[in-house]
Amino acid sequence: MMRASEGVLSGQSIAYFSMEIGLLSEIPTYSGGLGVLAGDTIRSAADLNIPLVGVSLLSNRGYFRQTLDSQGGQTEHGVLWEPSKFMSPLPEEVKVKLGAREVKLRAWLYPCKSHTGSSVPVIFLDTNLEENHEEDRGICDYLYGGDESYRFKQELVLGIGGVRMLEALGFSIRKYHMNEGHSSLLALELLRQNGTNISEVRKRCIFTTHTPVEAGHDKFDYKLVESLIPEREDLKILKKLGGEEKLNMSLFALNLSAYINGVTKQHSRISQQLFPGYQIQAITNGVHSYTWTSPFFRELYDRYLPGWANEPELLVRADGIPDDEIWAAHRNAKKALIDYVNQGTGVGMDYETLTLGFARRMTEYKRPAFIFSELERLRKINEKGKLQLIFAGKAHPKDEAGKQLIREIFGYMEELKAEMKIVFLENYDMELASRMVAGVDLWLNTPQRPFEASGTSGMKAAHNGVINFSVLDGWWIEGWIEGVNGWAIGPEPDEPLSEEECRACEINDLYNKLYYIIVPTYYKRRDEWFKLMNNSISMIAYYFNSHRMMRRYVTQAYL
């Protein structure tokens, strides 16, 4: 049997802990942006030969597969997948105490291979062993499923089990990187091993926060915590470093990490206000260039900018690629998407019409129905120059407001049926994301500020010459140059407007820019449109990629 620590990773590694990791569309161990970012992190680490090992949970039943009825009602289905098709079980076993019971864990190894020949091991923890109590066998079944107690058990398995498993596998870990607070119990295990030497543990921990609102941070009742971690010494430390009232996983991570960062510049500033007294740095997210570039653009970049995949900075010279070749590559990607849409839904979209895409988690702050705010204005635009809209996205099983938003969009689809082709595609996943970010003309993003910590799908779009039209939140604040590489919806971040004024400004921008700028540019001034496509590549993709991001993590956090 293979050993996880063999190969490139002799010597010391960085352990990268994440509740979700998106490696392949067929491996359902991710739900959305956080997991896809973790996957891109690992893919870039493999390309760049960074000694890193990923740690996550197996998610035996995945997140869920989404189906939608004719009214947009969502049904969630457990995913049955065969881990052995993609990864191999390792012989090592470790134990974690959950209250009075000991739970045995094993690990599955997925080697994430790079085209450069190197690879990064990813360890998926699994409690589904015969020796375990029936209840404990399912701890790693559902990503973000179950109740608070289920979640805390998962976090115990991930944090404490993860550290122990890496040791059992023979890894020598220099730094522990927590991707979001879910894994911060790893620091408790390190404290136990270090005789509670806080400064020693801090030196070894890195924490990346992803949540710009207080309520978004995982918190657990001490009643629950005590039932699963009864040791008095542990509880004392948890209360001291994770909060007296409730165990706040982010606070625990903040207190035990010497390096802390947010995922965009704005998000770091907001996190700094949320957690005064901590030094919060910024490393802006990126996406894995090769993964998120369609085959049509890969071929084009290979010809004009050889080496781009491992050195995405080269995309800065996209101005040397002739417009007609960029347009031809885009037309191919668009045709592939439209054919896919038409085959799946029979809606009859065409290749010429200006096509807008919106796909992300369906949840309130993302405001997926924002484009339907004033139907009369949307109709006017559609009379001036035809529009097609393609939506996708899952709502978390417990997010009733998110589910309602899908039904709302279906309502608008029905209402506009005679005038406009609109579809909502089921089961948004990495594969569908790849098709959509490459195949539409305009990538729409209308979050409620300042809740979008980063957002990454717009960066994927830019890699395919697709133009961003977005609220100035998250990464777009750093990427946007008005009318040069895309368009903003609403005010600049530092304009002192009330929530109402802000919304009014966003609605005006949304419709006015579509009517007066975007539609005429697409239909009448194609040369200008080409320039914006080209600038998306040379001014956005060249920078907002995970190779640049990982080089930052190496020089600022890992070394």
Q: How far apart are CA 552 and CA 559, in angstroms?
A: 10
- Of 293, 280, 370, the residue nearest 544 (C-alpha): 293
CB of 185 to ligand PLP, least distance (A): 26
457 binds ligand PLP (CB under 6 A): yes
Residue number with CB closer to ligand PLP (32 or 121): 32
For tokens 């080496």, name the residue: 307
**Residue of 9, 20, 33, 446 interacting with ligand PLP (CB under 6 A):** 33
Footprint of ligand PLP on residues 353-372 (CB under 6 A)? 360
Tokens found for residue 350: 């065409």
Among 36, 256, 533, 537, binds ligand PLP (CB under 6 A): 36
- Is 388 a residue that touches ligand PLP (CB under 6 A)? no
Q: By CB under 6 A, name the one of 126, 155, 426, 429 that touches ligand PLP.
A: 429
Q: Which of 208, 456, 535, 538 binds ligand PLP (CB under 6 A)?
A: 456
Part of the chain binding ligand PLP (CB under 6 A), chosen from 4-12, 29-37, 107-115, 476-484: 29-37
Nearer CB in complex with ligand PLP: 365/523:
365
Q: Which two tokens stand for residue 277?
A: 């007294």
Cα 541 from chain centre: 17
Instruction: For the CB of residue 432, give the shortest distance to ligand PLP in the complex, in Å.
Output: 7
Tell me which stretch binds ligand PLP (CB under 6 A): 32-40, 176-184, 214-222, 349-357.
32-40
Cβ nearer to ligand PLP, comparing 353 with 457: 457
Q: Which is nearer to ligand PLP, 164 or 360 (CB)?
A: 360
Based on CB atoms, which residue is closest to ligand PLP, 183 or 546?
546
3-state secondary structure of 513: helix
Cβ closest to ligand PLP, residue 428 vs residue 543 = 428
Nearer to ligand PLP, 226 or 364 (CB): 364
Q: Where are the beta strands (DSSP E) in 288-420?
A: 354-359, 387-392
Among 63, 428, 451, 529, binds ligand PLP (CB under 6 A): 428
In the complex with ligand PLP, which residue's Cβ is closer, 456 or 546?
Answer: 456
- Whether omega before 450 lies within 30 degrees of 0, making that bond cis, reads yes
Binding-site member from 16, 17, 28, 32 for ligand PLP (CB under 6 A): 32
Q: What character string, x for contact with ligand PLP (CB under 6 A) and - otherwise, covers 462-481?
A: --------------------
Count of beta carbons in the 10 Å neighbourhood of residue 157: 24
For residue 428, the minimal CB distance to ligand PLP (Å) is 6
425 binds ligand PLP, rule: CB under 6 A? no
Tell me if 312 contacts ligand PLP by CB under 6 A.
no
Round to the nearest angstrom and report the end-to-end CA distance of the chain.
32
Rounded CA separation 441/447 (Å): 20
Distance between CA atoms of 536 and 403, rounded to whole angstroms?
Answer: 33
DSSP helix/strand/coil, 511? helix
| In contact, 484 and 535? CB cutoff 8 Å | yes
> Which residues, other chains included, contact 420 with Cβ-Cβ below 8 Å and sequence gap of 6+?
378, 382, 386, 387, 388, 389
Rounded-to-integer distance, Cα 401 and Cα 403, Å: 5
Q: What is the closest distance, in whole angstroms, from the C-beta atom of residue 525 to ligand PLP in the complex?
A: 28
Q: Does 455 bind ligand PLP (CB under 6 A)?
A: yes
Query: Whole-number minimum distance, CB 360 to ligand PLP, in Å?
Result: 3
DSSP string, 517-539: IIHHHHHH-HHHHHHHHHHIIII
**Cβ atoms < 10 Å from Cβ of 117:** 10
Backbone torsion region of residue 197, taken as left when φ is above 0, otherwise alpha when ψ lies between -120 and 50, otherwise beta: beta
Contact window for ligand PLP (CB under 6 A) among 168-176, 383-391, 450-458, 478-486: 450-458
The enclosing H or E element of 552 equals helix 546-552
Under a CB-based contact definition with an 8 Å cutoff, are residues 379 and 519 in contact? no
Residues in contact with ligand PLP by the rule CB under 6 A: 32-33, 36, 360, 428-430, 433, 455-457, 460
